[in-house]
């Protein structure tokens, strides 16, 4: 089980939100690149970055901070990046800068043709992010609910050729209330591509529960508030995960 530290960017700083509320952001660092190096030093084998301003605006807003992070960690570990990615030129620019995987969320739901084109143009580099509550997908920074079932969309996007699905239970994200393992397993069982768990990971017991279902197709989980506020020690958590399941190859 691969644990992936999240670096959420707002106004150039590293923050965490509760249930996507931009007004309630907690700032953890004004130097995201230093935070990235910290997680690398603690054994991270991949980083998850979200341009929060970009997700709201529909276009990149924190590119200088993103470039600083890529420069800081070099080629040592892959970076997956989402937030405000709405066109192929933006994807190409980020990949050229050194980002390994680009995450498409709202645009995948609203303009699936764009996701299809992205998978064709950049095979192996596109991840889709599906944020859901009670099985229904949300868009626009979680501000709008759709009528789409998360499983139906995920299967459709799998056929497009996405590399993986990041599944976030938006009722739990940033709340330290525990991963929704059952819903994540239900989604993974419908797919042949990996599902990355996200939203609510808060204790080592959550890590154990995820490792127990890794064979269902859930090889990784994103962690944010828990590692910033100290309810989980990242190095200890990754060491535990490695002891329970073989390390995931990240390249």
Catalytic residues: 8, 131
Residue 163 and residue 125: Cα distance in Å, rounded? 7
Helix axes 181-188, 150-160, angle to 10 degrees: 40
Q: How many CA atoms lie within 13 A of 30 on its CB side?
A: 0
Q: Which of 250, 249, 192 is nearest to 218 (CA)?
A: 192
Cβ neighbour number for residue 145 with a 10 Å cutoff = 15
User: How many Å apart are CA 12 and CA 62, to the nearest integer?
Assistant: 6
Phi, psi of 33, deg, nearest 5: -65, -35
């Amino acid at each position: 089980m691969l644990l992936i530290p999240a670096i959420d960017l707002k106004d150039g700083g590293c923050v965490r939100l509760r249930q996507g509320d931009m007004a309630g952001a907690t700032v953890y660092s004004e130097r995201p690149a230093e935070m990235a190096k910290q997680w690398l030093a603690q054994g991270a084998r991949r980083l998850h970055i979200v341009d929060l301003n970009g997700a709201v605006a529909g276009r990149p807003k924190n590119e200088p901070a993103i470039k600083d992070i890529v420069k800081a960690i070099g080629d040592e570990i892959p970076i997956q990046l989402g937030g405000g990615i709405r066109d192929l030129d933006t994807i190409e620019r980020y990949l050229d800068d050194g980002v390994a995987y680009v995450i498409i969320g709202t645009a995948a739901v609203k303009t699936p043709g764009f996701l299809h084109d992205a998978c064709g143009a950049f095979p192996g580099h596109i991840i889709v992010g599906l944020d859901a509550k009670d099985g229904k997908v949300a868009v626009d920074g979680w501000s709008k609910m759709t009528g789409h079932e998360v499983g139906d969309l995920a299967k459709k996007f799998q056929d497009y050729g996405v590399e993986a699905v990041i599944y976030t239970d938006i009722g739990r994200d940033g709340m330290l209330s525990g991963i929704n393992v059952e819903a994540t397993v239900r989604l993974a069982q419908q797919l042949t591509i990996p599902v990355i768990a996200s939203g609510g990971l808060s204790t080592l017991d959550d890590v154990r529960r995820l490792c127990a279902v890794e064979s269902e197709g859930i090889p990784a989980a994103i962690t944010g508030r828990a590692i910033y506020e100290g309810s989980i020690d990242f190095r200890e958590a990754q060491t535990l995960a490695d002891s329970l399941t073989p390390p995931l190859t990240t390249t």
